[in-house]
Amino acid sequence: QQSAAFSKPSDANLRSPICCIMGHVDTGKTKLLDCIRGTNVQEGEAGGITQQIGATYFPAENIRDRTKELKADATLKVPGLLVIDTPGHESFNNLRSRGSGLCDIAILVVDIMHGLEPQTKESLDLLKMRNTEFIVALNKVDRLYGWKTCRNAPIRKAMLQQSKDVQNEFNMRLDQIVTEFKEQGLNTALYYKNKEMGETFSIVPTSAISGEGIPDMLLLLVQWTQKTMIEKLTYSDEVQCTVLEVKVIEGHGTTIDVVLVNGVLHEGDQIVVAGMQGPIVTSIRALLTPHPMKELRVKGSYIHHKEIKAAMGIKITAQGLEHAIAGASLYVVKPDDDLEHIKTAALEDVESVLSRIDRSGEGVCVQASTLGSLEALLEFLKTPAVNIPVSAISIGPVHKKDVMKASVMLEKKREYSTILAFDVKVTPEARELADELGVKIFIADIIYHLFDQFKAYMENIKDEKKKESADEAVFPCVLKILPNCVFNKKDPIVLGVDILEGILKIGTPICIPSQDFIDIGRIASIENNHKPVDYAKKGQKVAIKIVGSNSEEQQKMFGRHFEIDDELVSHISRRSIDVLKSDYRDELSNEEWKLVVKLKSLFKIQ
């Protein structure tokens, strides 16, 4: 059986625009989606809204009905609007369709009480990068002090009902937020005052709780897309389709959830999808969508379709989908098509991402839910401020085999024996094995949280390593004994010194280069102006106590083994230089590194 609504072509032969909702956490993305879904309650029906796979479909009639107060009736040309169901979900925002964003337009939600927040800016970066159109929903207007509720009213009508104080506060906050956008290099304006749509992004004030501004938002989305994207939205026979998720469904085996962006899919079509082990060639066994009536929806009950026309969220069942890659494109093989050619195209999408791993073989393992999110994560890890090398990548849940792969790094570089898991699950067996082997797994569904966790972990390891190697790290210094400041000649030797060069630290082994490099002990304490300190730098005059580490050193004596004119220097070695380089690189200034080089030649270290 087949529902007519799904394949009814629109008059102008346009497909529905696809829209996603982005923005900082808690700005009201979920609520906004709920609010636009929960329509026509008074009539007790869903107004034609249908739940699809991964998306919600709003037919034109529904939008027309909800926006009638705005008197824009005649202008609706698209058959409806398809809104992706996972608001703010980073890996879905990263979905692509043949190189450009999957979505035709985005709603960027900003909380009017908070303005631009960190993830708002991240979303903006993504939108700019993908060249995606967007409108700003300036949400939570009902929180303005003294706001008078005008349920589901167009925003200008609602605004007229407000007191001067509310209007003033609104204008003040709006101005502030427009300034914040400006700082991000974007012009924005209240949509009904926006004279240069296209150059200036439109702001629609909304409340996801009481519905003010929602009609405006819906209308703007539809009008704007059908006005500026006619070509993109014109229905085409060429299938454009992206895999959202790969899922095992009882009774159906492994299925793929897809968004059909353009074209038409038929039962029995031969398709090609990129897989982790190469391109998968198979045929569509069934095209499924959920039952439109919620009450009738039994778990696992779907409507079967002979064919489905874009834009639509669909579940596809077919054989051999186990290794399909979420985020990859789906291709249809037509009778005249060259299958090999299509297989190559399917692989190319994936290879551009897979080829980004570090060829040196040293780096962390990265795992993400979709190709798009993997790509975003890899892009992020590459930025100079982050700069984390990646040695292996995978898509989908973390399994034991992934932990095994990460454990290879244990030998080479312990801190890289890590899996950064972005928006994927970790199987209990994998977790157990990781604990056993000492492989670290970090999970997050926001990219920069992964980075924060990994950074903290790296710092921790660095500190630990520093502690372990503290005895072996020798900081470079050259000391001159001050006249009349020899307080104790032998074990412990106590002297006043002038630090001629470098940095003097507790623990540093000291020797006398001019007397055959005899070792006289390690710095046990330093006093600056009678106060104990851990270190002192070039130019300072301090008192030091040197304690012999063995009986030989304990014998060394001022006046016999060294004199007032002998310089004291740090006794460095190949090993101590290596430790400094690997664990203390940032703690030495350029000048101090130069001194290391000088001492290196003094000690004739290769």
**Which residues are at the interface with ligand GDP (CB under 6 A)?**
23, 25-31, 87-88, 139-140, 142-143, 207-209
CA dihedral 542, 545, 548, 553 (to 10 degrees): 60
Integer Cα distance of 416 and 390 in angstroms? 9
Burial class of residue 324, CB neighbours in 10 A (0-12, 13-18, 19+)? buried
C-beta of 26 vs 307, nearer to ligand GDP: 26
Q: Which of 369, 414, 361 is nearest to 391 (CA)?
A: 361
CA 566 to CA 523: how far, in whole Å? Answer: 17
Q: What residue number has its CB nearest to ligand GDP?
A: 28
Cβ closest to ligand GDP, residue 115 vs residue 389: 115
Closer residue to ligand GDP in complex, CB, 55/346 = 55
SS (H, E, C) 501-528: EEEEECCCEEEEHHHCCEEEEEEEEEEE
- Residue 79 or residue 215: which is nearer to ligand GDP going by CB? 215
Six token digits for residue 82: 């398809």
Query: Cβ closer to ligand GDP: 79 or 87?
Result: 87
The least distance separating ligand GDP from the CB of residue 206, rounded to whole angstroms, comes to 6
Strands 477-488, 440-444: pairing kind = unpaired
Nearest CB to ligand GDP, comparing residues 144 and 271: 144
CB of 421 to ligand GDP, least distance (A): 22
Residue with tokens 């083994």: 561
Type of residue at 7: S
**In the bound complex, what is the minimum distance in angstroms from residue 23's beta carbon to ligand GDP?**
6
Nearer to ligand GDP, 30 or 236 (CB): 30
Nearest distance in Å: CB 20, ligand GDP: 13
In contact, 141 and 190? CB cutoff 8 Å: no
Smallest separation (angstroms) from ligand GDP to the CB of 110: 10
Report in angstroms how near the CB of residue 158 gets to ligand GDP at its nearest: 12
The encoded tokens of residue 181 equal 């956008």
At its nearest, how many Å lie between ligand GDP and the CB of residue 33? 8
Considering the complex, state which of residue 209 and residue 450 has its C-beta at the smaller distance from ligand GDP. 209
State residue 306 phi and psi, 5-degree precision. Answer: -75, -40
Separation CA 52–CA 56 (nearest Å): 5
Nearer to ligand GDP, 25 or 602 (CB): 25
Nearest approach, Cβ of 431 to ligand GDP (angstroms)?
28
Q: Which residues pair with 568 in a beta bridge?
A: 479
Cβ atoms of 125 and 151 within 8 Å: the answer is no
Structure tokens at 245: 């998720």
CB 388 within 8 A of CB 362: no
**Cβ distance to ligand GDP smaller for residue 29 or 556:** 29
| Cα separation, 83 vs 76, whole angstroms | 17
Determine the Cα–Cα distance for residues 221 and 241; give it in Å rounded to an integer: 22
67: β partners? none
Q: At closest approach, how far in Å is the CB of 442 from ligand GDP?
A: 22
* Number of Cβ atoms within 10 Å of the Cβ of 102: 23
Here the tokens at position 67 are 């926006």
Question: Least CB distance from residue 242 to ligand GDP, whole Å?
Answer: 23
Closest distance between ligand GDP and the C-beta of residue 125, in Å? Answer: 18
Backbone φ and ψ for 419, nearest 5 degrees, come out as -110, 120
Query: Which CB sits closer to ligand GDP, 143 or 151?
Result: 143
Q: What is the secondary structure of 69-106 as a DSSP string?
A: GGT-GGG--SSEEEEESSTT-HHHHT-EETTEES-SEE
Give min distance, CB of 80 to ligand GDP, in A.
23
Q: Which element (helix H / strand E) includes 166? A: helix 164-183
Q: Which is nearer to ligand GDP, 141 or 493 (CB)?
A: 141
Q: How many angstroms separate the CA atoms of 522 and 518, rounded?
A: 12
